[in-house]
A = this chain, B = another copy of it.
Amino acid sequence: MKQSLFNSLFLKACRGERVPRPPVWLMRQAGRYLPQYRAIRAGVDFLTLCKTPELASRVSLQPVDILGVDAAVIFSDILVLLEAMGLHIHFAKDHGPRIEHPLRSVSDIRRLHPPDIAKDLRYVGEAIRLTSDTLRPRNIPVIGFAGAPFTLACYAIEGETSREFNKTKRFMNEDPKNFALLLAKLADGIALHLQGQIEAGASAVQIFDTWGGILSREDYLLFALPALQRAIDGVRRLGAPVILYVNGSTPHLEAMAETGADVLSVDWRLPLSEVRRRVGRKVALQGNLDPTVLYSNPRVIRQRTRAMFADHPGPGLIANLGHGILPDIPVAHAKAFVKAVQTVQM
């Protein structure tokens, strides 16, 4: 990594170093709320966009140019890894992704194979290469990502999104041994996927545990945590900071701090000061404005953003939302958030 990128606001904050102001980016910042994104999506379906490096790179760059965020996140989807491990995924128009023949038995788990990164996920690396080549002269890092083992297991078992993921938890409760085996297999695939992204030019990687919050603490410690540790162990030697996002993070903060992640990305439910009190100083924090606050007018957005910094005045903070930006947020409101961060007096 070039010295300048190493000293970018974003990477300094990931390492918990003192910075003049917190860096800012938004989960799902390359997405539907941007007319420029919708213009590109009008011509291609979601999966084609993921798999066409030039287009994926173009939409990844949009929020850097339009909002002026301090990091780009690569446009992709957590499910492309499941596809590269042997599952068939459909992204239909009016509902979310669906998996044909979801995992329901031990023999289904055996069908999963390690991903061939250079072949089956080559397009992700290519998109990262193009994006980081463009952004390196501007000193803006690119973030790669993957789903967490538990969250990928949820999709692989359920076959589609769900509110409670009861099929997954049924599998976990009926056959805990094979559920743990599945998570380990996924963890190894995740490590390979993230390694590939770092080697292609990602300066940091984020692991999304979108559904980790549905577990009891006992099950989180028993199932989710060891698999996360296994995935993170597989990428730490490459030196890129690892960010761990859990939605519904409140019950699991202490455990998240034990995963080996450098940064914990937390939802909006707790004030950052309380999160900090519970996880100590060994990790940086990312978050955590409620994404629905961006429905408010810019004056309220500025107030709430400043209140967030007043509540967590120290270093080791990356400003973000507590979940992805919603598709019907006005761009002006997203800009108001970014600007409020970038003009904050620390």
Stretch from A137-145, A166-174, A194-202 at the B interface:
A166-174
- Report chain B residues within 8 Å CB of A170: 292, 295
* Interface assignment of A280: CB less than 8 Å from any CB of chain B: no
Nearest-neighbour CB distance to chain B for A178, whole angstroms, equals 14
Within 8 A of B (CB), among A299-341: 300, 322, 326
Q: Which residue of B lies closest to A220 (CB)?
A: B269
- How many chain A residues touch B (Cβ–Cβ < 8 Å)? 29
How many Å lie between the Cα of A206 and that of B217 in the bound state?
A: 25
When the two chains form their complex, are residues B290 and A169 in contact, meaning their CB atoms are under 8 A apart? yes
Structural contact, B326 and A295, CB atoms closer than 8 A: no
Q: CA separation between A296 and B171, bound complex, in Å?
A: 9
A219 near B173: Cβ-Cβ < 8 Å = no
**Shortest 5 CB-CB contacts between residues of A and residues of B:** A169-B292, A251-B269, A173-B295, A250-B250, A170-B295
User: B-contacting residues of A (Cβ < 8 Å)?
Assistant: 163, 166, 169-170, 172-174, 213, 215-219, 248, 250-251, 268-271, 274, 290, 292-293, 295-296, 300, 322, 326
Please name 16 further chain A to chain B contacts, defined as beta carbons within 8 Å, in addition to the given A169-B295, A170-B292, A251-B270, sorted by A numbering.
A163-B163, A169-B290, A170-B295, A173-B293, A173-B295, A173-B300, A174-B295, A213-B269, A216-B270, A216-B322, A218-B271, A248-B248, A248-B269, A250-B250, A250-B269, A251-B269
